[in-house]
Amino acid sequence: MPTGKSNTLTKLIVVALGMFGFGFALVPFYYKICEVTGINSGDEQSLVKNTQVDTSRWVTIEFDANTNEGLPWQFKTMQRSIKVHPGQLVQVEYEAANNSDHAIVGQAVPSYGPARAGAFFRKIECFCFTPQKLAAGERRQMPVLFVLDPSMDKDLHTVTLSYTFFNTDPKAQTATLPEKVPHG
């Protein structure tokens, strides 16, 4: 006849095995629920399905890329322009190349044309959020993921998104400032 201690141990082992088995059963159960509901389908567009897309109008977005005088980088857009519906998720690419013989950290600053259009850009991912360090001779493609707010003014049909990269080294910035001319 089993003693009280061995009876308790048997129950604990059965409970532990049951919990372990339940954990394994959750994985296929989870995948089945995701399949039925469409969650984690792998299709990025379905994950970000937006019912606020204004398909009744198009906006042309033009892209521009510049560097400050003191930055020896080549910086360009991979697309000149695209047409999008307000509310539509959009990804575009810019490319930067460091033409110097040493690493340089640059920071991109966006601007918009017309200026009021900037209030309607909702950036999700952008290289302008953080300084970018490029090694000597390095070339890098950098994405911008954004949505134009569907409440954007109806009279905005063309918007320009422009970035200017600046060298973050304070010595490089002061080197590009014009010298003061003494008043005579």
Residues 97-145 pLDDT 10s: 999 999 999 999 999 999 999 999 999 999 999 999 999 999 999 999 9
What pLDDT score does 136 carry? 96
Residue 177, pLDDT > 50, answer no
For the segment 68-88, what is each residue's pLDDT rounded down to a tens digit?
988 999 999 999 999 999 999
Nearest to residue 123, comparing CAs of 143, 105, 139?
143
Using the 8-state DSSP alphabet, how is residue 62 labeled? Answer: E
What pLDDT score does 41 carry? 54
The pTM score is 0.65
